[in-house]
Amino acid sequence: MKKKLYTTLLTSLMMASAVSAQAADDLLHVKGKLANFGDSAVVAYGTFGGETKQTNVVLKDGTFDFTLPMKEVSYVQMATPATMRDQDRTRVLVVGVPGETLELTGDMKTRYDTGGSKFYQQYHEVNLMLENSSKEMQEYSMGIQKRLDAGENREQVMKEYREKAAEIEEKAQQRMLDFVKQHPDYEASAVVISFLEDVKKMEQAATLLTPEVQNGRMKSYYSFFIDRAKQRAEAEEKASKTQAAGVQAPDFTLNDLAGKPLALSSLRGKYVVLDFWGSWCIWCIRGIPKMKEYYNKYRGQFEILGIDCRDSDEKWRAAVKKHDLPWLHVYNPENSKVLSDYAIQGFPTKIIVGPDGKIVKTIVGEDPVFYTILDELFGKK
C-alpha cells in the first residue's frame, strides 16, 4: 500500500515538473534594477506586426521581477506611465525571447545594459557592437548641428552632411555584417538583421547564420524585417515613378477648413506646393517658420496646399489655428486614396506642382533644398 502510494506521488511530481518546464518555455522572465526609472512601469509586448498586450509592474527602489507569457519572439517595451502619455522619454525597448531570463541593470539617466541567460548575454554583445557602430555617426551629426547653430550656411553644411553621412553609415553597416560573420551561431546575431538598411544586406546576413539559427526560433523575427524591407523597397520604387518630375499630379478633392470640397485641379494655372503633414510630425512643425517666411517672400507666385494626414479632424483644426498657417488646407481622412496615389513614404513630403498640373520636384523631409528650389523658380521673376 505504501509502495503504491509512493509510486503515485512520484508520478504526480514528475508530471507536475513536466508541466512546469513546458510553462517556462512559454514565459519570458524579466528582472533587474534600474535607477531613476520610477516606482511603476507599463510593459507593452507582442509579436512583430501582431497584437500588443500590456501589463503594469511595480518597482521597489528600482527593483523588479516579473514574467510575460510569450510563445514567439516579441518586442518588449518597459516605460513609465508618463512616457505612455508622451510626457516623458523613459523607456527600455528589447527583443523578448520565450524561455529566457532577461536581466536589466543600470541608471536611466546614463545607460542600462542587458544580461541574464545565454541569449541575453549574446544580446548584450550585439548591443555593444551596435552602440560602437553608431558612435561615429552620432559624433558627426552633433558636429554638424554645432556648425549650424554657429551660423554656417545651412545649404552648404547639409550638402556636406549628405555626402559624408552615406560613407559613415556604410562603414557602420559593414561592422554589423562583420559581427554576424564572426558569430554565426549566436541566436542574437539575428537581431542585427533588423538594423541593416537594405534587403540585400539583410538577406546576406541571414545566409551567414548557421542553419540552426536560420531555421530556429529567431526565423519569424528576422523574416518579418526582411519582408518589411522588401515592401518598403517596392513602395520606394513606386514613389520614384509616381513622384518623378514631369508626371501628371493625380487630381483629388478633399474638404477644406470650411467643410467645402477643394479640388487640386481648381488651382491649375499656378505653382502649388502639396505639403503632406500632420500635427504629430515633429519635423513638419519645426519647418513651419521657414515655410511661412517663403510663403511671404514669394506671395502670389505660388500657393501651398496643406494636406493633413493621420490626425483627427479636431487636432488638424487646432494645429492650423495654433501655428497660424496662412495657406490653404484640406483634411485627408483614413479612407482616402491620396497617400497611395502619391506613394507618400514619409512626413513631411513636399511636392511642387507646376501650372500645367505636372510634378516639378518632390522633397521628402525638412530639407533646405526645398527652399533653394523655390528661390530658383521665383527669385529671378
Mean pLDDT for the stretch of residues 229-258? 92
Spatial contact of 99 and 119, defined as CB atoms under 8 Å apart:
no
Spatial contact of 312 and 327, defined as CB atoms under 8 Å apart:
no
Alpha-helical segments (H) within the chain: 2-25, 81-84, 118-149, 154-182, 189-192, 199-208, 211-214, 219-242, 282-286, 288-297, 313-322, 338-341, 369-378
pLDDT tens for residues 82-113? 999 888 999 999 999 999 999 999 999 999 99
3-state helix, strand, coil split of the chain in percent (to 5) is 45, 25, 30
pLDDT value at 27 more than 80: yes
pLDDT tens for residues 45-77? 999 888 899 999 999 999 999 999 999 999 999
CA atoms within 13 A on the CB side of 342: 29
pLDDT tens for residues 291-304? 999 999 999 999 99
Spatial contact of 120 and 114, defined as CB atoms under 8 Å apart:
yes
Q: 211 Cβ partners below 8 Å, 6+ apart?
A: none
Q: 267 Cβ partners below 8 Å, 6+ apart?
A: 303, 305
Q: 24 Cβ partners below 8 Å, 6+ apart?
A: 99
Task: Give 302: exposed, middle or buried? Use CB within 10 Å, 0-12, 13-18, 19+.
Answer: buried
Q: 120 Cβ partners below 8 Å, 6+ apart?
A: 97, 100, 101, 102, 103, 114, 188
* Strand order across the 63-69 sheet: 63-69, 27-35, 101-107, 111-116
